[in-house]
Structure 1
Amino acid sequence: MRILLFTGKGGVGKTTLAAATAAALAGRGRKTLVVSTDPAHSLGDAFGRPLGAEPSEVDSLLSAVQVDSRGLVDSTWHELRRELRSSLAGAGLDSLDAEELTVLPGVDELLALTEVQRLAEGGPWDVVVVDCGPTAETLRLLALPEAISGYLTRVFGWQPKLGKRSRVVESVHRLGTHLESLRTLLTDPSVTTVRLVLTPERMVVAESRRTLSSLALRGIRVDGLIANRLMPAPGFWRGAAASWMRTRRTQQNAVLAELTEAGFGSGLVRRVEHRAVEPVGLAALLEIAQELYHGQDPLAGNGKGVSPLLQVTESGEGYQLRVAVPLGQDAEVDLARVDDDLAITVDGFRRLIALPELLRPCRITGAESDAHGLVVSLAGNRGHG
């Protein structure tokens, strides 16, 4: 089974391209489910039919579903939260503190991701295509399994006080185990990949570059970028309208060239031209898929594979640690040592990365960036780690 996650800045057309990709996959004989976790609920509009919280058939091999994250919160999280509050209060914690400790930021997004996993693993699907929310929401969604696992460790690390095999211990254990399975699912490049949709505008491209860095930090593979809504080339047309289209397309091409020159998107970008009529229905979506994939397998992606996030080499009296994170020239990067972890922050997105055992006795002596990511220099006594 494969999972394709489509995301991008709001309004770039990711829902249409996710639906088109799903339609093309089904057209090639694969049993395909397209899932929307976007609160905008626009997937049904792309197919021209209403969708519910359970998969409904769009075509013989294509089904679609709109995840209702608010409904999942009402039906699932409230029960577990009541258990946690009751157990914490029973362990002697003030009721107000127990209430605060069981507030879980991002639970809506977490349950949406949980529902995607349930649908993917519980159905007959060869491929699950996910129309995610806008980029900011998606990054929170994809960071949640790791972040909440850390939260559970900090808050419930004193489990013996709660009594042996108490309900809350069992509940937290189940949740933690499930979060680990989500993290594994997301970071397995043979199963899950991301298609990042953008329009050729400098502000959108800047956000896309930050998104690429954030996803790389989390070990999530991006196997393609899609530049949507390119102005059609006017050819030999004359007149004011043709001149405007020609100028606009030239600007768009320049933005995409800058993206490639900066080391982002080289060999990764597919292009889709703007249409005068909003594409609705299978026929229109398959037409877009043809332009997008040119008859090739949509599952193949257009990436060059994925490099290991961390690589260590000997250098002088110490080591160099390469962190494969794409960086723009204006990226804001901060490094810090936190016990045996390396804290990396890129444009506001932070992740703790466990240092290889070899490097834990070492100290950071410097860092620089190149076209392939960060290179951190460390000094230490070889043979004593």
Structure 2
Amino acid sequence: MILTFLGKGGSGRSAIALATAYQLSQAGKRVLLTTQDPTTELLLETPIRLEPTSISSNFWAVNIRATALLEQSWEEVKKLEAQYVRFPLLGNVYGQELAVLPGMDQALALNALREYYESGNYDVIIFDGAGDLTTLRMFAIPEHLSWYIRRFRDLFLNSDLGKTISPFIQPISNAVLNVTWTAEDLTDNPNASEANQMLERGKTALEQGKVAAYLVTTDDPYALKTAKFLWGSAQQSGLRVAGVLLNQETTVREVVNEEFTPLPITSLPPIDPGEWMALGNALPDLLGTISQAPPTVEIDRNQRTVKVFLPGFSKQQVKLSQPKHQQEITIDAGDQRRNIPLPPPLRGQPVTGAKFLEDGHLLVSF
């Protein structure tokens, strides 16, 4: 499992992430806490290094710093270039020179999570990130990137440009690289297939509930509004939200119940810093409730419907469209766009109706 926590800054996300790590590790789970937030190191009162460091029994922590990850990735790129290109050009560019551009840190962090996830060394990986839209966009990378590859690959091969340069791909690849490729090989070669398989594994992990989030909020009105916005936005990223953690509750329990139905809500008492086990013991069964989390998309082939869960948004805030090729539908909500591929029975069929239900679902008919 990969767990993350969403909520307004100052709501206690990092403290709850730490308490979760202690609680699950004490229960016998092998837990890795991954963080990009310096606050976590201050709370833990222990340096968090760039390699997994043992904190206590079954509990490790690692700092997934973007600059270090970029250096490592760049070295891998240079190795690949040297393997395939007869006259490498990147040898004189060093990872220590590279600056992290906007968006790179999320992509690098997601790749680090993937590597730790696929290592099999941990039962639970906790990601303590920004807890906002940047975190949600990070988890949406596999779905969005696979869409770009799928759509633009076919467009390129069928375009005048693709048809013009395709005869030259084979001699150029033979002269410059150590392989012989055709235009089709650019989409079907083992490296491209491996990348596509990696993206598919990421999408599958989200769809099967192997990655989940919990909302963290206090009784502050802005914290509550932020949590509800992130709940709806998480659905646009394909990330399941399994519950609400109401930190330092005072008098708003009934309001929270109404705003976040049907999510389970757990009230957490005020805990002094460092009392991580006390806070951990107040947490619910975070792993056990994930299977009950509402799915982000439900497709009924027999009824010819697609139901998309968009809590926190009104009908006026949601835009539905369908491209001319009718292979998918597109949902705009919360400054995020999601393309939902249609299964064979619905593929190529036009949308015949859409209804925004009271429970926050958008029901699309074909």
In the superposition, the TM-score normalised over structure 1's length comes to: 0.73
One-letter code aligned to 1:347: G
2:20 partner SS: helix
SS of the aligned residue for 1:130 comes to strand
Q: Distance in 2 between matches of 1:79 and 1:104?
A: 19
Spell out the pairing of 1:63-142 with structure 2 (5 A cutoff): 63-77=60-74, 80=77, 106-142=103-139
Give yes or no for contact 1:194–1:221 (8 Å, CA) kept in 2: yes
Contact 1:224 1:303 in 2 (8 A): no
1:345 aligns with 2:332: yes
1:242 maps to what in 2? none
Q: What amino acid is aligned across from residue 362 of structure 1 in structure 2?
A: P
Question: What SS does the aligned partner of 2:50 have?
Answer: coil
Post-superposition offset of 1:42? 2.3
**Deviation, structure 1 residue 153:** 4.2
Contact 1:69/1:112 (8 A) holds in 2:
yes
Output the CA distance in 1 between the equivalents of 2:338 and 2:75.
29
Q: Is the 8 A contact 2:239 2:296 kept in 1?
A: no
Distance in 1 (alpha carbons) for counterparts of 2:191 and 2:203: 18
Unaligned 5+ segments in structure 2 are: 88-99, 171-179
Q: Which residue matches 2:206?
A: 186
Which residue number corresponds to residue 53 of structure 1? 50
Contact 1:209 / 1:328 at 8 angstroms: preserved in 2? no
Once the two structures are superposed, what CA deviation does each residue of 1:293-347 show, in whole Å capped at 9, x if it has no partner? 3xxx4422377343471243878xxx55432332444761111111321111122
Q: Partner of 1:6: helix, strand, or coil?
A: strand
Q: 1:77 to 1:260 in 2, by over 3 A?
A: farther
Secondary structure at 1:44's aligned position in 2? helix
Distance 1:204 1:341 in 2: 35
1:241 aligned residue: none
Distance 2:46 2:316 in 1: 42
In the alignment, the residues of structure 1 paired with residue 235 and residue 134 of structure 2 have an alpha-carbon distance, to the nearest angstrom, of 17
1:324 aligns with 2:344: no
Q: Which residue of 1 aligns with 2:95?
A: none
Q: How many percent identity over aligned positions?
A: 25
Q: Are 2:272 and 1:289 equivalent residues in the alignment?
A: no
Q: Structure 1 pair 79/54, CA: closer, same or farther in 2 (3 Å)?
A: closer
Deviation of 1:198 after TM superposition, in Å, equals 1.9
Listed as ranges, the matches of 1:1-385 within 5 Å are 2-36=1-35, 38=36, 40-77=37-74, 80=77, 106-153=103-150, 157-158=156-157, 160=166, 162-163=169-170, 164-165=180-181, 172-189=192-209, 191-230=210-249, 249-250=250-251, 253=252, 256-262=253-259, 264-275=260-271, 277=272, 279-280=273-274, 284-293=275-284, 297-301=285-289, 304-307=292-295, 309-312=297-300, 320-329=305-314, 332-338=317-323, 339-359=326-346, 360-378=348-366
Residues in 2 aligned to 1:109 and 1:225: alpha-carbon distance in whole angstroms = 24
Cα separation, 2, equivalents of 1:348 and 1:298: 29
Q: Is the contact made by 2:245 and 2:266 (CA closer than 8 Å) also made in structure 1?
A: yes
Verify the 8 A CA contact 2:246 2:267 in the aligned structure 1: yes
Count of residue pairs brought into register by the alignment: 325
**Per-residue Cα deviation, 1:209-254 (whole angstroms, up to 9, x for no partner):** 2322232234322212212233xxxxxxxxxxxxxxxxxx33xx0x
- Change beyond 3 A, Cα 1:314–1:172: closer
- Distance, in Å, in 1 between the alignment partners of 2:257 and 2:290 is 14
Question: What is the distance in 2 between the residues matched to 1:217 and 1:204?
Answer: 20
CA 121–330 in structure 1, closer or farther in 2 if over 3 Å, else same = same
Local SS of the residue matching 1:42 = helix
The amino acid across from 1:51 in the alignment is: I
The answer (yes or no) to whether the contact 1:331–1:346 under 8 Å persists in 2 is no
Deviations along 1:116-160, whole A, 9 cap, x unmatched? 121222253222222122312101101112222233445654485
Could you tell me how far apart the structure 1 residues matched to 2:102 and 2:181 are? 26
Give 1:146's aligned amino acid. E
SS at match of 2:38: coil
RMSD: 3.3
